[in-house]
Amino acid sequence: MAIGISPSLPLVIDSKDGAYALNKTLRESVRQNLKNLILTAKGERVMLPDFGVGLRNFLFEQFNPIVLTGISDEIKSQVSNYMPFVNVRRINFADSESNPGLISENELRIEIVYDILPLDDTDTLTITEVTS
């Protein structure tokens, strides 16, 4: 059985790691935790009612500079509160208007560049949301 830090989400059966595939590096685990923080809606996590950015709550908003600044500020605030070992360097937004290469005209792509302070490492998380 392999040694891992945390289960890799979504859960996938993996006989090599045991019952489920595992994150084997801190970098993988931090990326997964950051993604969960951004996608979790406030009130969704038991015993932590203020946890989460709730990105999906913004799906039907008009993506203007005010809304994008609000999303960016909420991401930075949540990371500061729940992942203080991560420093958000920058957050880039791309929509179909500014980036014609996106798949759907209703797609919003968020790219978060962040430092993992204990590892002295930089990583990027890209999240794509599509509205119908």
The pLDDT value given to residue 97? 63
The pLDDT value given to residue 132? 47
Architecture of the domain delimited by 26-130: Roll (3.10)
Element (H, E) at 80: helix 65-82
**Angstrom distances, CA of residue 39 to CA of 1, 18, 70:** 31, 27, 15
Across the chain, what does the average pLDDT equal?
88
Domain ranges of the chain: 26-130
26, 24, 27: which is closest to 125 by C-alpha? 27
Low-confidence ranges of the chain (pLDDT < 70): 1-2, 95-106, 129-132
Task: Give the whole-angstrom CA distance, residue 127 versus residue 129.
Answer: 7
With both helix axes pointing from N to C terminus, report the angle between 26-39 and 65-82 in degrees, rounded to the nearest 10: 130
pLDDT digits (tens, 9 = 90+) for 68-99: 899 999 999 999 999 999 999 999 988 666 66
Report the predicted TM-score, pTM, of the whole model to 2 decimal places.
0.86
CA 29, 35, 37, 43 torsion: positive or negative? Answer: negative
Q: Which two structure tokens, joined as six digits, stand for 34?
A: 């950051």
